[in-house]
Structure 1
Amino acid sequence: MSGPTTGPLVRTGDALHLTVRLTPRGGRDALAGSVTLADGRVVATARVRAVPEDGKANAALVALVAATAGVPRACVSLESGATARVKGLRIAPAGPAAEAALQAAITGTGSPG
């Protein structure tokens, strides 16, 4: 691998790994930039309308990330943090267009085009 892996979005082969701090009952579904946690990790922030019960917020996050990346929901999986606010997601396969779309959402540069 080349370069530091300090951001919320990291490529490993044909997969992307995204670290997200999720806010359920957030009023809207959106990736909303990034924040630095107390431990120094930089994570993306996301809010979903769904409630945090029975996996509803996690399912909404998977759908949001898939839609933002332009990939099918089946390509996005929750790797860690099922019951925590900070979650790890894997998007695979994910091409350059998916990576660019997620990066634009995280940095707040809006949708390309």
Structure 2
Amino acid sequence: MTSRPLAHLASPGTEIAVRVTPKASRNLVKIEADQIRVYVTCVPEDGKANKEVVKLLAKAIGTAKSNLILLRGATSRDKLFRVLG
């Protein structure tokens, strides 16, 4: 697998649905059964887990954190992000 496994999603306007698992044993972005799963070690309080998800997802697609915007799911495990130009 390449260092940017989700690089094809870096196009502006792309919407990315992810399922988040907080309090995991390690930080990881993984594709399971055609679904993007993000595992973070942070606890889901005060937006800590969301910040870590943005950081990991941005790194996986090869874009800046500021290019990802959370559209839906701020308090849910299922989140939808949009890549900005």
> Which TM-score bucket, shorter chain as reference?
0.7 to 0.9
Task: Give 5+ residue unaligned stretches, structure 2.
Answer: 1-8
Q: Report the structure number with the largest CA radius of gyration.
A: 1
- How many equivalent residue pairs? 76
Q: For 1:1-113, what aligned pairs fall within 5 Å after superposition? A: 14-35=12-33, 43-93=35-85
CA distance in 2, matches of 1:88, 1:79: 6
TM-score (norm 2): 0.79
Larger mean Cα displacement after TM superposition, 50-59 or 23-32: 23-32
CA distance in 1, matches of 2:69, 2:32: 20
TM-score (norm 1): 0.61
**CA shift at 1:43, angstroms?**
3.1
**CA shift at 1:24, angstroms?**
0.5
The structure with higher relative contact order (CA 8 Å, sep 6+) is 2
> Percent identity, aligned pairs only?
33
CA RMSD of aligned residues (A): 1.7
